[in-house]
Each structure stands twice: as structure tokens, then as C-alpha cells.
Amino acid sequence: MNFSKHFPLLQAFSNYERVGDKVRAARQRLKSIGNSIKKDSSLLPNHRYELHSLLDDIWHKVKQSEETTFSVHGERAGEFYNEAYRAVENLPPRDSAPILRAASSEVRSLYLDRGDRTRYKSIFDDLWSKLNSKRDEGRKKHEDWRRRQEEGLEKLRAAREKALSALERVRSNISDNRSRLYDARSSEFADRVSSWIREGEEKERDIERSVDDLETKIRDAENRLRS
């Protein structure tokens, strides 16, 4: 009796596609044939024994095929896990998440025994927890960085306002001293006022440079916050 036509997984098992369906179909078919043998009253005892022996052999081959698939798929699951692990360890969460998601999906599609399936679910859950922790940590670091940048920006703006107020006072003093110079009644007083004006103009230039430097730093800080 030729059983091969009833069990295509024994000839085409190497592609490992839809293995679970094939194994279940083979078992169901074997069970059906076994029941038919039991119910067939026309079979002689020696024929019945021979058929049962053939069925036992097929059962053994199905089991071997299943174990082989468990082994092959287990190795593939390990490869997918290692790839996902390296991604989570070495890449930013935004880059590692798609790799982890794809690897998880691939492992779920494999034909694994119950123990391996439970184990891989657990270790992939651990990887997701690690990725989420890194994501939370990165978010916290970014929030801390942004807070420091905003605080620094406020200090720069306050320093600019202070410098602009000082610049306004210096310019006002220069203007007043120029009026004093115009009204000076002695050369001695005029020389003194001229010295005040020169000092004021030098201070004015210094403050203007400070304001320009602060403006540059403020623009840089604003650009960093926008990026």
C-alpha cells in the first residue's frame, strides 16, 4: 500500500512553509486511515498487522519531520533574535523598533515547540521593555536638554536687555557730555568733557560688541530648539 500520496509533507517538507498545517493534516489523515483499518472487517489479521506497521512507520516519519522542523526553525528564531538584540543594543529606538517588530513577526510565523515559543515570547517581550526604557530615557534626556537650552536662552535674552539698557545710558551720557562740551566756558573743562566723551564712545563700542555676541548666541540657541 502506497502512503506517499497521502502525506506530501514527507516529500516536500524541506520548504518549511505552513508546517503546522501539514503536520496537523498528516496526523488527521493517519488517524482516519487507522480508523478505517479497524473498521474494515474484510482484512485478514496479517494484512491488518502489516497496515498497522506501515502506519506506525509513517507516524515515526511525521514525528521526525516535525522534530527536524523544530530544530531548523529554532535556529532561524535564534538568528532573528540576535539581529533584534543587536539593533536594540546599538541603534536608536527609532531605528531599532522596525527591526525588532519585523523579527518578532518572523519568529511568530515559525513552527516552534511550545517551550521555544514560550521562551521566545518572553525574551522578545524583554527586548521590547528594553527598547521602551531606552525610548523613555532618550525622551527624558531630550526634555532635560530642552529645559537647559530654554533656561540658557532666557539668561541670554536677559543679558541682552541689560546690555541694551546700559548702551542706552552710555549713549545718553555721551549726548549730555556733547552738550556740555558745546557750552564749555574753559579749555580745561572742555578737555575734561572730551575725555568723558571718548571714554563713553569706547564703552559704547564695547557694549555694542557684547550685544552683537549675545544676538548671535540667541539665534544659535533658538535654531537648536527649532531643530
The whole-number pLDDT of residue 98 equals: 95
Domain assignment of residue 176, yes or no: yes
The whole-number pLDDT of residue 9 equals: 40
DSSP secondary structure letters along 10-58: GTSGGG-SSHHHHHHHHHHHHHHHHHHHHH-TTS-HHHHHHHHHHHHHH
Whether residues 149 and 101 share a domain: the answer is no
DSSP secondary structure letters along 157-217: HHHHHHHHHHHHHHHHHHHHHHHHHHH--SHHHHHHHHHHHHHHHHHHHHHHHHHHHHHHH
Whether residues 83 and 148 share a domain: the answer is no
Mean pLDDT by 10 residues, the chain (227 residues): 42 52 78 80 77 80 81 91 96 95 92 91 97 95 95 97 97 93 88 93 97 97 92
* CB of 26 closer than 8 Å to CB of 60: no
> What domain range is 187 assigned to?
144-226
Q: What is the CATH number of the domain that holds 210?
A: 1.10.287
pTM, 2 dp? 0.61
Domain assignment of residue 133, yes or no: no
Whether residues 27 and 102 share a domain: the answer is yes
**Cα 98 from Cα 208, distance rounded (Å):** 52
